[in-house]
Structure formats: structure tokens, C-alpha cells
Amino acid sequence: MNKRLEMLLLTLVLLVFVISCAKKGSITGGEKDETPPVFVKAFPPNFSTNFNKNEIRIYFDEYIKLKDAQKQIIISPPMDPKPTITPLGSASKFIRIKFEDTLLQNTTYSINFGESVEDNNEGNTLPFFRYVFSTGDFLDSLSIKGTVNNAVQKKIDPYITVALYEMDENYTDSLIYNTVPRYITNTLDSITFDFYNLKEGKYKLIALKDASSNYLYDPKQDKIGFYEEIITLPADTAKVFNVEIFREVLEFKALLPKQVSKNEFLFPYEGTLDSMKINLLSDTPENFESLVIPDKAKDTLHYWFRPFFETDSLIFEITNSKNYRDTLIPRFKDQYKDSLLVSSKYRSSLPLNENFTFFASTPIDSINKELINLTDKDTLDVPFSISLDKVENEAQLIFEKTESNSYTLQMLPEAIKDYVGNVNDTLNFNFRTKKLADYGIIFLTLQNVESYPVIVEVTNEKDEVISEKNVSKEELITFDYLNPGKYYIRVILDTNKNGKWDTGNFLKGIQPEAIKYFPDVVEVRANWELKQTFILE
């Protein structure tokens, strides 16, 4: 073999060796880091006693950041002002907590970080890390746990504040409006709660959906729940405490009305309407008259009047059947007159078991049936009648519907006249019906109903009531004409027999009426009959 050939072979061998080594040593990035940050040390140390510092530093083995600190970090007992906690929005290897006020004497404090501590790179969370210290010479060590549910909805509210008030000589139920509790915790995004490092004593347990995050109860915007009995520690540490939150009905109060058009005022109110009366005390023309219509969605009354007259302000007297009386004086001026707008909740499909319903933006005064035509898909006239409900300001077109049909409803000019003299232009509505086989049916049997009546409701996944039945005896309950989909079934125990669900009241010690949910989601299919048995426990 000549020298040149030897050199060529040697070069090829070296080249193969280099390529092989390069493949073996190529950078792949390694496995993803799934390890949460590790607590290393704290100054002062965790679980310190005789604490007298104004700052805490908590160190970890890597750079961390705090996520949703305002929601996740709970300090109990609460501090006012709240301490300054960093880092917020940046990364650090330690958390710094600086107190802005003097701590209570002989008190155990617990700082629960929830799921806020996460590493800076991968977002791995250190769950439920707590820092605990005492300004006295020992740590309180009692604990309790429980759950919070929504009294009326299956969907659980996240981030419920759970509070314990000391039942000492200073306790009254009104403290929840103006005094922060002794201990607080939070459900985060679950239904469970835990209290740690409690001291021996008697407590009142309250749950709040605290909109302002100030640990005070505001009935106008917060939900509340409470445990009826007094909790005694350490005797009750083994119990699991269950609380249901609800929104209270406010005491009735009429708010200042506002003129929104030439002939209309809006009268907002708080609480239950309860036979509210609006009496105009100002001088009016001899032919003056008024009409009141409740709003379908808001706690508001629409007050309509005719004819318009001129004055700077009006004096209204508001009363109800519970001896409420108030005088309200809104400003009054000439404005544009409202237009008549007619609409329907059925934009395309009309259920076979319902009537075509339409309503107006102004009060419907009269309907001329002779100026209304209804035809089917074969352009044949369909006989109908009309029912006008002036209280609800809606009308129903009543006719015999057939499956898989399409309909055209035409309202000629002046078919509808409203309260202030407006009339409609030509209106056309097109809608159709489905086949009966497009719907499903639920046959429901209730068992273990201790007392009647009950209200049985079928709701969709948004907690909207699709169908309901008031049941006063044991019978087979039928829910028909249901569109295919997933539904929930719930039973309201109507203990006061008024045909509706009633909420609770904290100051009166009244819990909301109980609601029992069928444990499984019910899936309805087209042309399908589903039989279910609901055993109430």
C-alpha cells in the first residue's frame, strides 16, 4: 500500500470517529425541570416564638416569583395595614415581608402562601407553604377544616374567605359589618378550607365571597354563609364544618328615579319589590295617567305617563305594604320621545310546546289582529289568536303548531300602538319548528321526599333553568321537549310552601332553603326517553 493511500484511509477513520463523537455529545437540552422550589431557611426561623422583628426573609434554593399574591397569600389574623411583600413582578431567591404596624401581643400568626410561590423558569409551584410565628412564648396549634358550597348553584365560587370570630364578651352578630375577624383562610379555587394554629376558645364561623377583599360583609355585593352552632376548641377539632353561601335579600329601599325619555322614569330599588306603590304628588293635567311595568332583568320599575307637561321637578311618594314611605324628587325636562321597537326571544326556532312571544321597548297599548298575518311554509294562512299581558308588556301569538314547519309573521303598519302614541312600521318575523324526534324526554321518579311541596328544576351547564315543575305529591315527573345536551336536575325543598326558592338571612339566623342535586350529569339525546330515579338523602 503506498503512502498516499495510507494517509487517505487514516483521514477517513479520523473523520468517522469525530462524527461519532459529535453525535454522542450533541446538546439536547435535557429533561424538563419539574421540581418545585425548595425552602432553605428563614430569618427569623419558621415557627419562631417571642417574635419581635419588623421584617421576615424566606430563602429558597432557586429564583422564585409570586403569582396572584393578592388572592393566594392569606395572613391570619388579618393585619391593617397589610404588610409589604416582595418580589411582585420580578424574580428573587427570597421573599421579604415587612410589617407596617405593631403586631398583637401573645398571638400566633400564620402566613399561608397558597400556590403563589413558583420557580422563575418553569413555573413549578411550591404548594401551600406556610410561615408561622408567635409574639408570645408558645405557638397555638389547634386546627379545623371544612367545605364551602353555593346554596343555589352547582358551580362553586372560587376564593371564598372563611373567617372565625371570637365569641367573647365583645361579640355581636353585627361585627361582621365593621370588624375584621380573628382568623381567616381561603378556599382558593377549591371547596375546602383549613384553619391552623388556632387557640382554645369559642368561635363563630362565617364564609364570604368578599368582593372588596377587606374581610367585612357588604350585603350589596357579597355572598355570605354561616355555621349555625358555636364552634368550641379543642372539643370540635375532629368535625368537618360545611357552609353554604348565598346572597341575602336587602331591606327594601327605593332609590332616586331618573327620567330616561320624554314619558318615562326608571325607579330602581333594593330588596324585594313587595307591592311598591308610586304616587305622584305634583300637580298634573286633568287627563294625566300613569303605568308601571317591572323590568325583566333588573330591580327597576318603568314608570310611564301621559300627557307630557312642563315643570322643573316632580315629587313622588313611594310606599309599600310594610309601612315603608319615602319622598323622592327627581329633575324633570322635555326629552325625545321613545320609539316603538318590537322584538321576540325566538329568533329562528320556536319550541313545539311554547307560543310565539313578542314584546316592545314601550308599553303596548293595543294590537289590531286584522293587520297581522301568519302563514306556513306552503304560504297557507294559519289561524291564530293574540293574548296581550300589559303588566309584563308582552303578547303571545297562539296557534296550532306542526312539526318541521316554517312560519312567516307579518305585522302591517299600525298593527301595534303603544302607550305614548307610536305605531309600528311593517314587521316580519321568520321562525320554524323542529321535528318531535329532535327532542328528548326525562321521566323522573323522586324517592325519600320527607315533605311536600318541592320544586324540581332541570338546568343547563350554565345553571340556567330550562324547565321546572312544582310537585305536591309523589308522581312521575315528565320533562319533555328538551334539546339534546347535558343537564342537571335539582330539587328545592320548599319548606315555606310559597312556590319559590328562598334565600337566608344571617342576622335572623335563617339558612337558605335546601337544594338537592342529582349526582350525575344527565345527557339527553334526540328521540330518546331517559328514565331516572332521584333518591333524596
Q: Tell me: the pLDDT tens digits for 41-63?
A: 999 999 999 999 999 999 999 99
Band (pLDDT 50/70/90 cuts) for residue 26 is very low
Q: Has residue 8 been placed in a domain? A: no
Does residue 19 lie in a domain region?
A: no
pLDDT band for position 19 (50/70/90)? very low
Taking CA atoms, 461 is separated from 157, 190, 442, 488, 524, in Å, by 15, 19, 16, 7, 13
* Cβ-proximal residues to 7 (8 Å cutoff; 6+ apart), any chain: none
Asked if the structure places residue 197 within a domain, the reply is yes
The reply to whether 34 falls in a domain is no
Contact 457/495 with Cβ under 8 angstroms? Answer: no
Q: What's the mean per-residue pLDDT of the chain?
A: 91
Residue 111, CA atoms < 13 Å, CB-side half-sphere: 24
Which grid cell is 403? Answer: 312539526
168 class by beta-carbon count within 10 Å (0-12 exposed, 13-18 middle, 19+ buried): exposed
Does 425 lie in the same domain as 350? yes
In terms of domains, do 171 and 202 share one? Answer: yes
Q: Quick one: average pLDDT of 490-499?
A: 93
In a domain, 425, yes or no: yes
Joined grid coordinates for residue 262: 320624554
Domain match, 148 and 241 both:
yes
Q: Count CB atoms within 10 A of the CB of residue 230.
A: 12
Q: Rounded CA gap, 112 and 127, in Å?
A: 10
First to last CA, the chain: 96
Does 92 reside within a domain?
A: yes
Distances (CA, A) of 230 to 86, 149, 509: 38, 20, 12
CATH number, domain with residue 179: 2.60.40
φ, ψ of residue 2 in degrees (nearest 5): -75, 170
Instruction: Identify the three-state secondary structure at position 371.
Output: helix
Asked which of 252-266, 306-320, 423-437, 441-455 is least confident by mean pLDDT, the reply is: 441-455
Q: With beta carbons less than 8 A apart as the criterion, state whether 326 and 278 touch.
A: no
Q: Has residue 191 been placed in a domain?
A: yes
- What sign has the CA pseudo-torsion 366, 369, 370, 373? positive
Domain of 322 in residue numbering reads as 266-328
- Let me know whether 130 and 165 are in one domain: no
Instruction: List the one residue out of 163, 197, 186, 179 whose CA is nearest residue 46.
Output: 197
- For every residue of 93-143, which 3-state class applies, written as one string? EEEEEECCCCCCCCCEEEEECCCCEEECCCCCECCCCEEEEECCCCCCCEE
Percent of the chain with pLDDT over 70: 94
Amino acid, single-letter form, for residue 178: N
Given a cut of 90, whether residue 157 has pLDDT beyond it is no
Report how many domains make up the chain.
5
Rounded-to-integer distance, Cα 109 and Cα 77, Å:
6
Say if residue 125 is in the same domain as residue 154: no
pLDDT at 31: 66
pLDDT more than 90, % of the chain:
82
Query: Phi then psi for 93, rounded to 5 degrees?
Result: -90, 0
- Residues 429 and 450 grouped into a single domain: no
| The pairing of beta strand 201-209 with beta strand 258-261 | unpaired
- List the grid coordinates of 40: 432553605
C-alpha distances (whole Å) from 334 to each of 47, 164, 188, 304, 310 are: 70, 55, 52, 14, 7
Contact call for residues 433 and 349 (beta carbons, < 8 A): yes
Is there a single domain that holds both residue 89 and residue 68? yes
Residue 399 lies inside a defined structural domain of this protein: yes
Last residue of a domain, one of 118, 134, 150: 134
Residue for cell digits 315543575? 469
pLDDT tens figures, 352-386: 999 999 999 999 999 999 999 999 999 999 999 99
Query: Hey, what's the cell of 62?
Result: 432557586
- Among 305, 328, 351, residue at a domain's last position: 328
Residues 352 and 321 in one domain: no
- My answer on whether 129 and 165 are in the same domain is no
For residue 448, what pLDDT band results from cuts at 50, 70 and 90?
confident
Mean pLDDT of 303-323: 93
Length of the chain, in residues? 537
* Same structural domain, 166 and 228: yes
* Of the residues 245, 280, 311, the one at which a domain ends: 245
CATH of the domain at 109: 2.60.40.1220
With bands split at pLDDT 50, 70 and 90, how would you rate the model's confidence at 22?
A: very low
429 in the same domain as 451: no
pLDDT bracket for residue 11 (50, 70, 90) = low
Instruction: Specify the CATH number for the domain of residue 448.
Output: 2.60.40.10
Compute how many other C-beta atoms are within 10 angstroms of the C-beta atom of residue 249: 15
For residue 18, pLDDT beyond 50: no
- In sequence order, the β-bridge partners of residue 144 are 195
**Mind spelling out the 3-state secondary structure of 1-63?**
CCHHHHHHHHHHHHHHHHHHHHHHCCCCCCCCCCCCCCEEEEECCCCECCCCCCEEEEEEEEE
- 400 and 374 in a common domain: yes
